[in-house]
Structure 1
């Protein structure tokens, strides 16, 4: 392949919340490839684009504040840049926070790779009455390309791509910060020694600076005896001198910095208030679930009608082709009832993810971590640990993976232990079904209470484990609070579609297979196929658990089987009820009425239903989440212990709810 047609590998690098991912999506759209970085479990997202026929592969690296390795994300991004996985670096910068963002820029320039500065969020700069001198700024950074872009409005993209191709051909350039003569002298001596021992290194200055900063990665990768040159850690001095240089840039290039008070600051007076912050958070989440129930239920009616017609049609098709009775039952009572019943909850899931996407892209989620910092500090964690817990409202798998951002293994494991207590979207169908069935006038409040119970349980367990371990208090939280902005429609759409696609994929795979397996164990026994499900394999397994679940008001073998099936995916609990009790459209008014009547026949009422929802909230997460926990912790023993711990917590909590509730009601 000729050099002119060679694919250019571009890395998007920037601080968290700088709009990097939105810009990445603007380039690649839905043509994304998601995998793990080699050797670690941090996701890497790649995509492809082109400029005037020149193929370009782009990689979205984890958001970082510096190239100093404190977190796994910083390690991954730095390794990507050091190992020549990218030819050109697009440093995405939040133009409204230029001073903070430029620290990473200066570090990237020291790598001696082509760097392009993408100034994002210029509309916020204008709204605040500020101006950036777009002629002086590139001059002070060594004539590197500086391109104003808008990820939300998709402007400046062609100019940025042109800069990528041109700068790749031109090679690295940019300013190198000049430190004090003392430090520069040491850098020069270390460069000489590095060249003698590791002559193949392209960026000797970068490595020399990292030696002076006592960077562990550099010392391990390139062991040298520098005791006669380095007498102490120079990291603080180097950082201070970088920021002195940045202050000079800001004085020269940023006009009217304090002209207007930021809209963000005004809102944060309330949303991050020490006393009002938590009530605002709870109120916002209550609004989310109000929309999830009201709007979701309105749309759900159409899905229920479609499912009813599908069930009747499939029954007629089976009769017309003279299918065997067992095949008809498998298709209609198993697959259509199980998978179809889950799909009727899609509108609720869609609204939930849409609301979470708006909160995340608007910049509010980071505020929640800040607000919860004091509460989390009392249980030995920082507000940063609350971020994985927030992700748990969507799905436990990425929430567990997000715990890797915490600095210590002990804190990561404690956070992983409590994160599954957050109500993931897979539990929502259970809440919707049983709250509407047994608490029709207060369904929203009942469902919302379960989210609060999960949150309180997580905090309580974190507190107990903190006291038992006698752990030291977590360091002070350092987190970026981005500017509030109108959520980008494209980013929200990609996020929601990705989550809905996962839900549909689960319905077409895990839930599909689970309903088939469940149908077979319900319709077969030691004597072969059975017409009485009480003689099936499923009944035999369920009866073993009756004595265990009876104190929790769940002493029916069909409920036990539904809970077991929920280990594959929590949505399967609902589809299992549909198959176990022979109800085709379980989420419709007629279906809920029929199920309520059957459950009521053996004394299952509102208290039992709430105990069931508590058990589903707290017991072991799905198989995919457990596998992720094993991968993240690297310990099968710890993972198995966590599963049994959560089963115990779920059992104790549901027993207390049922026993106390039975005395009151």
Structure 2
């Protein structure tokens, strides 16, 4: 098998290019010894495997993600290196390219986003670049699927063993002499290949933490003994300056006669408002409000109503009639109709809303706005001891808290990373949408988008308040620098939007067939049986007894329905099961009927208090597990369980009791 290592800076279109080359034939896993995600794709009908490595700016790692990329070169086998560079940001991107070229393996540089470069009125001579860097240089536009077939053909050439690069940078004489001495000793004493020994020496002189750790573990004395000399001679600065000077000279030579830009610089014009210190936040709120209007008023809910009419009507009735016709036992009929169809089917009717929300998020990502959202929030995040980079995991948490917490790996400071992990579960994930949809339809029909938006921002406010508290408790006072590349705005492409929406939404369907299925069966069994056997009515079932036992505890926050309490307890498995449980407990497979039933069990104030509790209380099992994995301790996982329960109760208590004092009902 031929292994292609895919490197590149963040926001170079690396993931899009990976999907184009592999036709989405990818599998996921974790790197040995770490929890960072490993993504490997096969080029269809070939033995070529492409390893998609985390986006990095250099081989000197600052985060766990970046360390994976460097350690891959130190410990894994690879046949070809494919370096993806943003064609409009070559001065910075080619710094990583030089580090990869010095590794000595056959290398291809893909100048991606070539359309953005041309819009700037700039073009480079491809052959001059290829000659200067002694490797294959290709032009691509992964979004438009241009140049990707040529790149694939280059990889799949008849002789897959591309010639190794002999790229050598003219470093200052003192650096070159030190490199030569180190290489001689490393090849003689440790039997390293010359190219590999030279790369190790340069990276060590460049103060690469991963390489220094590797040298210490391998006891590479030729490097370790000279470390004080390298530092005293400022080799790190000399190497950087030599690389930068080479890149500037090469780009100057390769640049061809400029052409006038074909389009106006729309990105800069939009960013005057989108990233404005004052207007940026209102625009961010307005965009999310529009997103919820689409989800709950204009697109998602009407489609959900149509699907609900089918599930609660023809599907439920036909299934019941068919079971009667074949003589199924009443127990089995009740399980299938009142349990599975009512529960699982009752949750699946919310698919249009879930997919509408994910489509909106995918549009924001593909358009380039999400990076602006992090920049806008940087000033606010800095007031609680974090920076805009910490807001990116929180945004991802709107889809699912699990990948949101995993995204905190990109935060350099350990204390900031821990704080971000602990506050991420307060983000309103998509699993809560079915519950929101039920209650806003029952109590806030005219203001659905505003109410749901308020819940999302309630989660953000609670998270930021806790972050400020944790900053004081953990003494995380040192500020880290926030740097983010703002990509050009793009018109979202339907294929990319669909791919992103499906990737996010398929987990909801998977849960319907697993966790929600199991939770529905469990709640149905507990509602069908009681202490004396089959319950004569649901009020004498185990579910009723459990809910009634906790009624005094939840009465102060406005809950007077044991059904809601029992359903809420199943949400610890997965938040989606709450809606399924309510369908079962109210003996309905129809969303409309359940909405009418809820209207008699809650007041609007109690309903909002309940939604706030659902937003903030105990994370689902998957989130608890990933907190344990990311922090390396069950202590923080259990802390998250207890603290979120306390926070949810206190916030709901303030909402309900405060509302009563103000005369709200």
TM-score, structure 2 as length reference:
0.94
Q: 1:220 aligns with which of 213, 218, 222?
A: 213
Q: 1:533 aligns with which of 538, 543, 548?
A: 538
User: Does 2:137 align with 1:146?
Assistant: yes
In the other structure, the counterpart of 2:400 is 395
User: Which one is further off, 33-42 or 397-406?
Assistant: 33-42
User: Does 2:571 align with 1:566?
Assistant: yes
Deviation per residue, 1:364-416 (Å, 9 max, x gap): 11111111111111111111011000101100010010011111221111001
In the other structure, the counterpart of 2:66 is 74
Q: Map residues 402-441 of structure 1 onto 2, 5 A cutoff.
A: 402-441=407-446
Q: Map residues 426-575 of structure 1 onto 2, 5 A cutoff.
A: 426-575=431-580
User: Does 2:617 align with 1:619?
Assistant: yes
In the other structure, the counterpart of 2:365 is 360
User: Does 2:4 align with 1:13?
Assistant: no
In the other structure, the counterpart of 1:306 is 310
Deviation per residue, 1:56-85 (Å, 9 max, x gap): 111211111111111111111122233343
In the other structure, the counterpart of 1:37 is 31
- Structure 1 contact 129–256 (Cα < 8 Å) conserved: no
- Structure 1 contact 30–494 (Cα < 8 Å) conserved: no
Number of aligned residue pairs:
649
Q: Relative to 1, partners in 2 of residues 1:614 and 1:227: Cα closer, same or farther, differing over 3 Å?
A: closer
Q: Relative to 1, partners in 2 of residues 1:614 and 1:231: Cα closer, same or farther, differing over 3 Å?
A: closer
- Structure 1 contact 25–491 (Cα < 8 Å) conserved: no
- Structure 1 contact 186–229 (Cα < 8 Å) conserved: no
Q: Relative to 1, partners in 2 of residues 1:148 and 1:228: Cα closer, same or farther, differing over 3 Å?
A: closer
> 1:231 and 1:450 mapped to 2: Cα distance?
53
Q: Relative to 1, partners in 2 of residues 1:575 and 1:504: Cα closer, same or farther, differing over 3 Å?
A: same
Deviation per residue, 1:427-481 (Å, 9 max, x gap): 1111111011111111111111101111111111111211233322321201111
- Structure 1 contact 381–473 (Cα < 8 Å) conserved: no
> 1:551 and 1:389 mapped to 2: Cα distance?
30
> 1:112 and 1:474 mapped to 2: Cα distance?
38
Q: Relative to 1, partners in 2 of residues 1:175 and 1:216: Cα closer, same or farther, differing over 3 Å?
A: same
TM-superposed CA distance for 1:49, in Å, is 1.4
In the other structure, the counterpart of 2:182 is 190
TM-superposed CA distance for 1:625, in Å, is 0.9
- Structure 2 contact 26–39 (Cα < 8 Å) conserved: yes
Q: Relative to 1, partners in 2 of residues 1:530 and 1:228: Cα closer, same or farther, differing over 3 Å?
A: closer
Q: Map residues 55-134 of structure 1 onto 2, 5 A cutoff.
A: 55-134=47-126
Q: Relative to 1, partners in 2 of residues 1:170 and 1:547: Cα closer, same or farther, differing over 3 Å?
A: same
Q: Relative to 1, partners in 2 of residues 1:54 and 1:429: Cα closer, same or farther, differing over 3 Å?
A: closer
TM-superposed CA distance for 1:236, in Å, is 2.7
> 1:189 and 1:522 mapped to 2: Cα distance?
78
User: Does 2:347 align with 1:342?
Assistant: yes
User: RMSD between aligned alpha carbons?
Assistant: 1.8
In the other structure, the counterpart of 2:275 is 272
Partner of 1:420, secondary structure, is: helix
TM-superposed CA distance for 1:311, in Å, is 0.7
- Structure 2 contact 30–36 (Cα < 8 Å) conserved: yes
> 2:378 and 2:335 mapped to 1: Cα distance?
51
In the other structure, the counterpart of 1:296 is 300
In the other structure, the counterpart of 1:3 is none
User: Does 2:660 align with 1:662?
Assistant: yes
> 1:170 and 1:318 mapped to 2: Cα distance?
65
TM-superposed CA distance for 1:259, in Å, is 5.7
Partner of 1:44, secondary structure, is: strand
Q: Relative to 1, partners in 2 of residues 1:230 and 1:159: Cα closer, same or farther, differing over 3 Å?
A: same
User: Which one is further off, 81-90 or 398-407?
Assistant: 81-90
Q: Relative to 1, partners in 2 of residues 1:82 and 1:489: Cα closer, same or farther, differing over 3 Å?
A: farther
> 1:345 and 1:37 mapped to 2: Cα distance?
36
TM-superposed CA distance for 1:495, in Å, is 1.6
TM-score, structure 1 as length reference:
0.94
In the other structure, the counterpart of 1:234 is 235
Deviation per residue, 1:590-632 (Å, 9 max, x gap): 43123323x1xxxx21001000000011112211111111111
> 1:331 and 1:483 mapped to 2: Cα distance?
51
Q: Relative to 1, partners in 2 of residues 1:116 and 1:281: Cα closer, same or farther, differing over 3 Å?
A: same
Partner of 2:230, secondary structure, is: coil
Q: Relative to 1, partners in 2 of residues 1:87 and 1:470: Cα closer, same or farther, differing over 3 Å?
A: same
> 2:190 and 2:144 mapped to 1: Cα distance?
46
Q: 1:160 aligns with which of 151, 160, 173?
A: 151
TM-superposed CA distance for 1:235, in Å, is 2.1
> 1:648 and 1:438 mapped to 2: Cα distance?
26
In the other structure, the counterpart of 1:636 is 634
- Structure 1 contact 538–561 (Cα < 8 Å) conserved: yes
> 1:85 and 1:268 mapped to 2: Cα distance?
43
> 2:96 and 2:213 mapped to 1: Cα distance?
23
Q: Map residues 322-337 of structure 1 onto 2, 5 A cutoff.
A: 322-337=327-342
> 2:355 and 2:516 mapped to 1: Cα distance?
18
> 1:467 and 1:119 mapped to 2: Cα distance?
46
**Structure 2 residue runs without a partner (length 5+):** none
